């Protein structure tokens, strides 16, 4: 597992052995994004508040390349789902950039929003579509073949900044977004009424959302309320509230059956 930290460091951790395999510390400010290449299963890309992106390999003690075009802090960097050498990044400079990891210069720059762009993700079925979310509360779908001439779809419904977006690995039309408005929304990008469901089970900012790669319609959300919630979006209109009396009672009952030695 790869993870990043506020002190500028990046780690690879073997959680089965509870052992750190690699520790890099080249970024000079908080590392806000890390993504492992699922196509070649080797390279890692990170984006930081020092305005740089860095390419890593688990067997190398230093980064392989640094990308320096963004002029403000980088919020997300995501590998392409099919091309092992391509990734996208978004930044406080309002841009979405597409990169070839062999070239220090980006291959495409789109001014995606008029405010900071906090997140992006690639459509897993259409290699040209990438989705962005911004402080301007919108979710925009871009076709990279159109050279930034405007989004092919605008999705509006959040009341505050969109913090994270994930495209479904099971359905080309489905994506999830979460926001500082404390909600997570499921969207159908090809439907006129695009919001399929809206969930408000968290009591603080919702910072992350992701789909399960193996179980369709199963996803997880994470929030500043210190909870992670996993649920099936086809079975539950709202996930269990972790602060409800019923959920607390279940937690207490579980704890009383736990062996004192564990």
Asked if the model's pLDDT at residue 258 lies above 70, the reply is: no
Q: For the segment 196-224, what is each residue's pLDDT rounded down to a tens digit?
A: 999 999 999 999 999 999 999 999 999 99
Q: Is residue 36 within 8 Å of residue 46, measured between CB atoms?
A: no
The share of the chain scoring above pLDDT 70, in percent, equals 90
Confidence of residue 47 (pLDDT cuts 50, 70, 90): very high
Residue 246 reports pLDDT greater than 50: no
What per-residue confidence (pLDDT) applies to 15?
A: 87
For residue 78 the two structure tokens come to 């995501």
- Give the mean pLDDT of 71-90: 98
Maximum separation of any 2 CA atoms in the chain, in Å:
62
Mean pLDDT (whole number) for 33-43: 96
Measured distance CA(228)–CA(221) in Å, rounded: 6
Token pair in block for residue 248: 């607390």
**Residue pair 131/157 in contact by the 8 Å Cβ criterion:** no
pLDDT of 243 over the 80 cut: no
Across the chain, what does the average pLDDT equal? 91
Here the tokens at position 110 are 């789109």
For residue 252, the model assigns a pLDDT of 29
Chain CA centroid to CA 92, Å? 16
pLDDT of residue 239 exceeding 80, the answer is no
Mean per-residue pLDDT, 45-65: 97
Q: Which span out of 51-55, 232-236, 256-260 was modeled with the highest average pLDDT?
A: 51-55
- CA dist 72 and 97 (Å) reads 13
Number of Cβ within 10 Å of residue 15's Cβ equals 7
Residue 106 has pLDDT above 50, yes or no: yes
- pLDDT of 257 higher than 60: no
Question: What does the pLDDT read at residue 148?
Answer: 80
Q: If we measure between CA atoms, which residue out of 1, 69, 55 comes closest to residue 26?
A: 55
Domains and CATH numbers, the chain: 2-256 (2.130.10.10)
134, 161 contact by CB (below 8 A): yes
- Statement: the pTM of the whole predicted model exceeds 0.75: yes
């Amino acid at each position: 597992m790869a993870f990043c930290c506020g002190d500028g460091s990046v780690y690879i951790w073997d959680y089965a052995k509870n052992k750190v395999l690699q520790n890099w510390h080249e970024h000079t400010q908080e590392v806000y994004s890390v993504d492992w290449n699922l196509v070649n299963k080797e390279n890692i890309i990170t984006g930081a508040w020092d305005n740089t992106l860095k390419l890593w390999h688990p067997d190398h003690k230093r980064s392989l390349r640094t990308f320096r075009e963004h002029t403000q802090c980088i919020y997300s960097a995501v590998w392409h789902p099919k091309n092992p050498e391509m990734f996208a990044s978004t930044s406080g400079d309002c841009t979405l950039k597409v990169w070839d990891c062999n070239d220090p210069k980006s291959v495409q720059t789109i001014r995606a929003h008029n405010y900071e762009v906090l997140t992006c993700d690639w459509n897993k079925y259409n290699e040209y579509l990438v989705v962005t979310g911004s402080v301007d509360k919108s979710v925009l779908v871009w076709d990279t073949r159109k050279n930034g001439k405007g989004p092919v779809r605008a999705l509006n419904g959040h009341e505050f900044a969109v913090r994270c977006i994930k495209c479904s690995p099971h359905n080309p039309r489905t994506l999830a977004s979460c926001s500082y408005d404390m909600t997570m929304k499921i969207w159908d990008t090809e439907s006129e009424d695009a919001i399929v469901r809206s969930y408000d089970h968290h009591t603080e900012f919702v910072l992350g959302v992701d789909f399960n790669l193996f179980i369709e319609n199963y996803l997880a959300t994470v929030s500043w309320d210190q909870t992670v919630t996993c649920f099936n979006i086809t079975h539950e209109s709202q996930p269990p509230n972790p602060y409800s009396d019923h959920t607390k009672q279940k937690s207490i009952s579980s704890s009383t059956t736990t062996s004192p030695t564990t």
